Amino acid sequence: MLGAHSQCICVPETQFIDHQFATNGFDSQALNPEQTLQRIFADRRYRLLWPLRTRDTPLSPQVLGTSYSRLITWLVCEYAKSRRKGEASVWVDHTPTNFRRASTLVEMFPEARFIHLVRDGRAVAASLLELDWGPNNTFDAAEFWMARCAPGLVAELRLGLDRVLRVRYEDLVSKTEATLRRVVSFAGLEYESGMAQGTGLRPGAYNQQQHRLVGSPPNPSRVDRWRRTLTPRQVEVFEAEAGDFLGSLGYQPVYGIRARPATRIEVLRLRLLDLPQRAANNLRRRLREQRSL
């Protein structure tokens, strides 16, 4: 949605930034820009998600700079030009793991703002079960969801409300314009009605299937779809693990303190079923990678 704004460019996910941080000896403030750029081009996630490829001619430090923030800014500008949005002044990065590096990203990009988009964990679980990555049952999905929410909650406390805005997925879907106006005001932009159509990012071949709803207007029926796709026992197991966490984010549990945890037999059964499912998912994911690359 933000990517559809005339002043914004939404780029594919940038896990390669996090990968660079994890490289031994990597110094974000003093680097060889051409070598770093080549490492980015060689990164698997970059090759899967980004359309910009290795350049035939080297670029000078005067163009790329000698800091990682300058190099990444150059890369984003090149992507914006390729999408005919070279005039964009705001870069939108929707990589889910960004909150794990929030403090570092603020040091690199002092004007950065963060939007913490939260969603009912039961709906997240229902979506995850259909994918070829992530947990394959609601018992594990509860831990997965809480672990992914936690860095965003920490960032809210550490960086403050002037730097981090929490937005509920359900509000974005059911009260789209009002919620988007909050978001663009937080980002220092003016509201544009075309944003509500969500056409600001085109998924690539690798994630086209799992992001098949990207580019479509908000669909309110997605909010409580989990009530139709999860069994009562799946919901109960999820709430037994994450019930208080659900409540703290404003989501009403179905079972509350009455939720019965998964028994040892149920957990064992889930673990056994998980093995062939995980193998099948790994195969599906490898096939997707091969087709995309």
What is the model's pLDDT at position 57?
64
What is the model's pLDDT at position 56?
62
> What is d(CA 67, CA 41) in angstroms, rounded to the nearest whole number?
17
What is the model's pLDDT at position 91?
95
Of the listed ranges 11-20, 46-55, 97-106, the least confidently predicted one is: 46-55
> What is d(CA 211, CA 192) in angstroms, rounded to the nearest whole number?
23
User: Rounded mean pLDDT of the chain?
Assistant: 89
> What is d(CA 18, CA 30) in angstroms, rounded to the nearest whole number?
17
**Residue 216 exposure: Cα atoms within 13 Å on the Cβ side:** 10
What is the model's pLDDT at position 242?
95
Q: Name the band, by pLDDT with cuts 50, 70 and 90, for residue 24.
A: low
DSSP 258: G
Q: pLDDT above 90 covers what percent of the chain?
A: 57
pLDDT of residue 113 exceeding 90, the answer is yes
pLDDT tens digits, residue range 184-225? 999 999 999 889 888 888 777 777 777 777 777 888 888 899
Q: Name the band, by pLDDT with cuts 50, 70 and 90, for residue 120.
A: very high
Of the listed ranges 72-86, 131-145, 208-222, the least confidently predicted one is: 208-222
Q: Name the band, by pLDDT with cuts 50, 70 and 90, for residue 55.
A: low
Using an 8 Å Cβ cutoff, are 167 and 117 in contact? Answer: yes
> What is d(CA 242, CA 91) in angstroms, rounded to the nearest whole number?
34
pLDDT of residue 239 exceeding 80, the answer is yes
What is the model's pLDDT at position 14?
93
b/e code 131-155 from CB counts within 10 Å (16+ = b): ebebbbbbbbbbebbbebbebbbeb
Residue bearing tokens 């980002």: 187
More confident residue, 51 or 143: 143
The tokens for 220 are 């309110």
> What is d(CA 31, CA 89) in angstroms, rounded to the nearest whole number?
25
b/e code 189-212 from CB counts within 10 Å (16+ = b): beeeeebbebebbebeebbeeeee
**Cross-strand pairs, 93:** 11
51 C-beta neighbours (distance < 10 Å), count: 10
**Residue 99 exposure: Cα atoms within 13 Å on the Cβ side:** 23
Q: Is the dihedral of CA 55, 61, 63, 69 positive or negative?
A: positive
What is the model's pLDDT at position 95?
92
Residue 293 CB partners (closer than 8 Å, separation 6+): 47, 48
Q: Strand (E) positions, the chain?
A: 8-11, 90-93, 114-118, 164-168
**Alpha helix segments (H runs only) across 87-225:** 102-108, 121-128, 138-159, 169-174, 176-186
180 C-beta neighbours (distance < 10 Å), count: 22
For the domain made up of 113-293, the CATH class stated in words is alpha beta
Spans of all domains in the chain = 1-93, 113-293
Query: Rounded mean pLDDT of 143-156?
Result: 95
> What is d(CA 67, CA 39) in angstroms, rounded to the nearest whole number?
15
